[in-house]
Amino acid sequence: MLDTIELVKPDLDEGKLDIEEFEYRSEVKPTWCPGCGDFGILNATFTAMKQKHLNPKDTVCVSGIGCSSRFPFFVNTYGFHTLHGRTMPVATGIKMANPDLTVLAFGGDGDGFAIGGGHFIHAARRNLNITYVIMDNSVYGLTKGQTSPTSRLGYVTKTSPAGSVDEPLNPLVLALACGATFVARGFSGRPKEVSELIIQGLEHKGFAFIDVFSPCPTFNKVNTFKYYKEEVTALPIDHDVTNKLKAIEQASSPKIVYTGVFYKAAESHSYEEHVLSQRPAVQTDANTLLGKLFAKYS
Ligand SMILES: Cc1ncc(C[n+]2csc(CCOP(=O)(O)OP(=O)(O)O)c2C)c(N)n1
Ligand code: SF4
């Protein structure tokens, strides 16, 4: 473990900014298809934002490209709808430029694990202090239904008419292997549970990754609401969230699809803390952005 300074995470409850849930909703109406799972995640996010008294002027929602990545348009905070797969680099830049901001990232399994897969790995291992919600529908929705990295083996689409020959990746095991310090899974059909996971992610200091099953009724006729309702089960009450090996085991269970918090590191120092702790070792020009940042936090 590196010697590092301790950045005090602002106590979000302290400001007691009493904003009603509907005030987090922007004037832009969601453009998702009726019945899309992404609605449940949007509503769960509003609930979490209210419960944590997030101040819209100190909050940024970042996304890539995809149906799910339209998310920032629908939320009354700052937002950044970036390039496909570049959610993590932009979120990193925002957080490093102003560590006081609460940064939430949203996007699809294609955006996060295919084109953005490399960035996901490094954001997780750096332990950036952000909350990343993947709206996982196991398909490319926006481009009309191709396979994604979480599509199951044999999944039939117009571009894989004989069935996908790729093994799906396991987002939770990937995140755990890459060093994410908070790893959870939810289902958009249970928005209350999702909002609780987002609240815990916001409270965690470090990279909080939440994979949420979010059915796409238009293009994915396999991973439906009905399918998940029958498949998902809450993690056992006695699950030890500090046991990473157990988390990997539960996340890769071939029989049971668990939801809940799989892992939360007992100790977690964020990327910002490490970078800022190196301040004396870095020659800074007070006029550069880095210099100003160091001046602000010295
Ligand atoms: C560089 C680049 N490559 C490909 C695309 C086309 N494209 C747009 S969204 C998308 C995938 C969307 O799937 P996902 O991220 O899972 O989000 P969803 O639409 O399912 O919510 C692709 C391949 C693009 N916009 N930019
Ligand atoms: S295509 Fe699928 S993911 Fe996209 S908005 Fe429609 S239901 Fe949602």
Q: Is the pLDDT of residue 11 over 70?
A: no
Q: Rounded CA gap, 279 and 11, in Å?
A: 25
Q: Which residues pair with 140 in a beta bridge?
A: 146
Retrieve residue 95's tokens.
Answer: 């957080």
Contact 66, 110 (CB under 8 A): yes
CA distance 106 to 38: 10
Six token digits for residue 103: 């940064």
Q: Residue 277: its pLDDT value, please? A: 81
Q: Report residue 19's pLDDT band, with 50, 70 and 90 as the boundaries.
A: confident
Angstrom distance (rounded) from CA 138 to CA 145: 9
pLDDT at 183 over 70: yes
SS3 content of the chain, % helix, strand, coil (to 5): 35, 15, 45
pLDDT digits (tens, 9 = 90+) for 249-273: 999 988 899 999 999 999 889 999 8
Q: Are 113 and 132 in contact (CB under 8 A)?
A: no
Q: With contact defined as beta carbons under 8 Å apart, do 216 and 141 qualify? A: yes
Asked if residue 101 lies in contact with residue 60, where contact means CB atoms within 8 angstroms, the answer is yes
Mean pLDDT, the chain, as a whole number?
92
Going 80 to 71 to 130 to 86, the CA torsion angle's sign is negative
DSSP β-ladder status, 78-81 and 59-63: parallel
Measured CA to CA, the distance from residue 33 to residue 157 in angstroms comes to 19
Instruction: Output the pLDDT for position 14.
Output: 56
136 close to 184: Cβ distance less than 8 angstroms: no
Which residues lie below 8 Å from residue 189, measured CB to CB, with a gap of 6+?
37, 40, 213, 215, 225, 228, 229
Question: Which residue's structure tokens are 């940024």?
Answer: 60
130 pLDDT higher than 90: yes
Among protein residues, the one with the nearest Cα to ligand 2's atom 1 is: 141
The residue nearest atom 8 of ligand 2, judged by CA position, is: 36
Which residue has a Cα nearest atom 25 of ligand 1? 84
Lowest mean pLDDT among 100-104, 219-223, 269-273: 269-273
181 lines ligand 2 (CB under 6 A): no
Pocket test for ligand 2, best of 39, 74, 134, 137 (most atoms within 8 A of CB): 137
**The pLDDT of residue 10:** 54
Q: Give mean pLDDT, residues 225-251.
A: 97
DSSP 9-65: PP-TTTS-----GGGGB-SSPP-PPTT-THHHHHHHHHHHHHHTT--GGGEEEEE-S
Nearest ligand, measured from the Cα of 143: 1
Please state which of the ranges 20-24, 158-162, 175-179 shows the lowest mean pLDDT. Answer: 20-24
Looking up tokens 């939320």, which residue turns up?
75
Point out the ligand 1 atom lying closest to the alpha carbon of residue 38. Answer: 21
Report pLDDT digits (tens) over 113-126.
999 999 999 999 99
Please tell me the pTM assigned to this model.
0.92
- Please return the burial class of 185, using the count of CB atoms within 10 Å of its CB with bins 0-12, 13-18 and 19+: buried
115 alpha carbon – ligand 1 mean position (Å): 8
Go through the domains of the chain in sequence order and give each one's CATH number.
21-297 (3.40.50.970)
- The Cα–Cα gap between 184 and 170 comes to 12
254-272 per-residue burial string, b: 16 or more CB within 10 A, e: under 16: eeebbbbbbbbbeebbbbb
**How far does the chain reach from its first CA to its final CA, in angstroms?**
22
